[in-house]
Amino acid sequence: MARLGDYIEQIRGVSYKPEDICTSTDNDAVAILRANNIQDDGLNFDDLVYVKKSKISDKQYIKKGDIIVCASSGSKSLVGKAAIASENLPVAFGAFCKVVRPKKLIPSYIGYFFQSPKYRSTISELSGGANINNIRNEHIDELDIIIVSEKEQESIVNQLDALSKLIVLRKQQLSKLDELVKSRFIELFGDINVNDKGWDIQPLGELCTIVRGGSPRPIEKYLGGDIPWIKIGDATDGENIYLHSTKEHIIQAGVSKSRMVKAGSLIFANCGVSLGFARIITFDGCIHDGWLAMEDIDERLDKVFLLQALNQMTDHFRRIAPAGTQPNLNTAIMKAYKQIIPPVELQREFIAFVEQTDKSKLAIQQSLEKLETLKKALMQKYFR
C-alpha cells in the first residue's frame, strides 16, 4: 500500500467569467469539459461550453493519461466520477472538475483505480457537504493504492481494457438495435410529426381515458400495505414494455390520495428526465404524480403499438412540454395530442418486428451484465 498523492499531481478546474465565454464557431474557441461530460466508459463531448483560448493556461489542457474527476456536485452519485483521457485533447475543464495527472505509475492503472468500488465508496464518505459534495486535494492524496510491478500493472490494465472494450461494444449493439426499431417505425408509418403517410388521426383523449397520478404525502406515512405503489424507478429496469411488480406498497388509506389504475393500463412518464417512456402494467396499482395513465384504449389501437408510438415521440414531447424547472406534460396536452391510427394489421407487423429485436437485445443485455460484473469483481480484487 502507498499514499496516492506520492504518485500524482492534481490540477483544479478554473471558473470562467461570462465575458470569457464564446461560441464554438469563434476561431479561438476552446471546449470546456464539465461534470456531465464524465462517463464511466470515457468522456463524451455533448453539451459543451466554449471559452476564449487566451483565458486558458497550458496546464488546463487535457493530456493523454489524465484522469478527469467530477470534484463538486449537489449529487452524491456524481461526485468523484472519473474518466481517463485516451489521447491528448484540445479541450480544458471547468471549475467543478479536476484533473489527476499520474507521475510514476502507468496512467491506466491509476485510471482504473478511480473506477474501482473501493475508490467510489471511500470518496463518497469523504466528500459529503451540507448542500454540495466536494472533493478536496487531501481526500485524493491520502487514498491508499496497491503498488505492484510495472509488468503486473500492464497485465491488470490489459485485462480491464479487454473487458472495457467488450462492454462498449455491447452498449453500441444495444444502441444500434434501438435505432433499427426507430428506422423500421419510420419506414412503416412515416414521420408521425407531420403524418406524411396520411393516416387517420384523432386526439388521443378521444381514443382513451387519460388520468394523472397522485402521491400521498408524506409518503412514509402510507407505506407498508399491500397495494402496489408504482414509481418511475420501478420501470427503469427490466424489459421495455411490461411492468410486473413494484418495490414498494401503500396502505388502503393512501389510495384516495393517489390514483388506482387497472391491470392492462398504459402508463406514461410525464415529467422530468424520464418524460416520454411508457409501460403496460400487469397488475392493479396506484401511480404517483409522475405518471399519466391511459385506460379503455380504442380497439383501433393496439396497446403495444400505442406504447411504441409514444416512445418514438420523446423528443417531440420534450419540445412541447411547458417551460419550467423540468419538462412536464399535463393531461390537457396529452388529450389534444394527435395520434395516428394505421391499420391494425400494420401495427401488429411492427410489434412482431419489435418482439424479435427485443430477443436480440435481451441476449446482448445479459452478456453486458456479465461483463460488467466480471470487471467490477476484478477491480475489487486488484484495488481492494
Residues 82 and 93 in one domain: yes
Residues 285 and 372 in one domain: no
Residues 134 and 225 in one domain: no
Q: Which pLDDT belongs to residue 298?
A: 95
| Averaged pLDDT in 10-residue chunks for the chain of 384 residues | 92 88 85 85 84 89 92 77 89 90 92 92 76 82 94 96 95 92 92 90 95 90 93 74 90 93 91 78 92 93 91 78 64 90 95 91 93 95 92
Q: How many domains does the chain have?
A: 3
186 located within any domain: no
- Asked if residues 268 and 243 have their Cβ atoms less than 8 Å apart, the reply is no
- Cis omega (within 30 of 0) on the bond before 228? no
365 located within any domain: yes
What is the span of the domain harbouring residue 244? 200-341
Q: Which pLDDT belongs to residue 295?
A: 92
93 located within any domain: yes
CA distances from 149 to 1, 106, 110, 154, 293 (A): 13, 10, 13, 9, 59
193 located within any domain: no
- Cβ atoms within 10 Å of 32's Cβ, excluding its own: 23
Residues 348 and 336 in one domain: no
Residues 316 and 358 in one domain: no
Query: DSSP states of 232-263 as a string?
Result: GGGGSSS-SSEE---SEEE-GGGGGGSEEE-T
Residues 30 and 157 in one domain: no
Residues 31 and 164 in one domain: no
Q: Which pLDDT belongs to residue 130?
A: 54
- Asked if residues 254 and 286 have their Cβ atoms less than 8 Å apart, the reply is yes
50 located within any domain: yes
Q: Nearest to residue 328, comparing CAs of 269, 251, 243?
A: 269
Q: Nearest to residue 288, comparing CAs of 345, 218, 352, 209?
A: 218
Question: 52: helix, coil or strand?
Answer: strand
Residues 137 and 156 in one domain: no
282 located within any domain: yes
Looking up cell 417551460 gives 323
Query: pTM to 2 decimals?
Result: 0.78
327 located within any domain: yes
Residues 328 and 374 in one domain: no
Residues 379 and 324 in one domain: no
189 located within any domain: no
Residues 47 and 83 in one domain: yes
Q: Which pLDDT belongs to residue 273?
A: 67
Q: At 89, which CATH number?
A: 3.90.220.20
Q: Is 310 left (phi over 0), alpha (psi -120 to 50) or beta?
A: alpha
Residues 87 and 100 in one domain: yes
